Amino acid sequence: MVPVGVILAGPIVARRVAALAPPTPRLHVTAAALVPLVAPVMLVLNPTSFGVGWEPAHFPEAAVRFVEREKPAGQMYNFLDYGGYLSWRLFPRHLVLVDGRSGWVHDGALLARCHASLRDPAAFETLVAEHDLQWAVVRAKPLEPFGLPIATSPQWTMVYLDEVSAIYVRRGGANGALAVGGYRVLRHLTAPPLAVHAAMSGSASPVDLDHDARLALKHAPTDARAWFFEAAAALALRDPGRLSRAVAQLDQLAPGHPLIPVLQSAIPTPRPQLSE
């Protein structure tokens, strides 16, 4: 509610501080010039895309379509900020655990436990046991730490990943069949350097990396993270053609990323053919 409060308080504050800035021609020109700058500043500071509907960079719309298609069973665990959107899109078939109605509907203790569950495995496992949670929608933007307990738990399998969100299901639970086809070694918190290191060091199975990379590209074909996973799989399988294609995509999706030169150096240079 902070943005709403700022909008409501703006006129009141402006009247009270008006005496500090007497109206002058220069002030009028400056104020008028600031109005058309609002839109470009918002685009720079808060990247968005053009189009109609909800901003796909902020809401788990693609994950919702996956849920509608796969129909996971049982109670959902969800990232709190996604609760309202998930309720709007999935109710009444699926009920969220918590949403933004923090002061009106949900118990304060539950909200505190949900916040703790983002990083504390014990808090997460307590919620799982108490509410018999069977699947989860978590925030999965790169470089964000949310969802550590579920990402590191061997009891949960990631079955969907895109630029915004990830979906997990419990192994052997109501969605065991869905878990079988899920990710094997990668998680939403797997940073691209870790995936590449696993490929180069042999600490992850090439077959498993290949499976996960293909799944990542299926879910999010324009996501740079998915193409880093694809590059890791190509390294593990020693497939230079596949690695070259992945690097070419990364040059477009993540130009200047420090990992790209590392991948480029792993592409073998063609040997010159000797003429007879």
Share of the chain above pLDDT 70, in %: 94
Q: How far is CA 31 from CA 20, 25, 26, 35, in A?
A: 15, 10, 9, 7
Q: Are 106 and 83 in contact (CB under 8 A)?
A: no
Q: Whole-angstrom Cα distance, residue 232 to residue 230?
A: 5
pLDDT at 21: 72
pLDDT at 14: 79
Dump pLDDT digits (tens) for 202-243. Answer: 999 999 999 999 999 999 999 999 999 999 999 999 999 999
pLDDT at 270: 64
Residue range 190-195: average pLDDT?
Answer: 96
Which conformational region is residue 51 in: left (phi greater than 0), alpha (psi within -120 to 50 degrees), or beta?
left
Question: Quick one: tokens of 27?
Answer: 């002030």
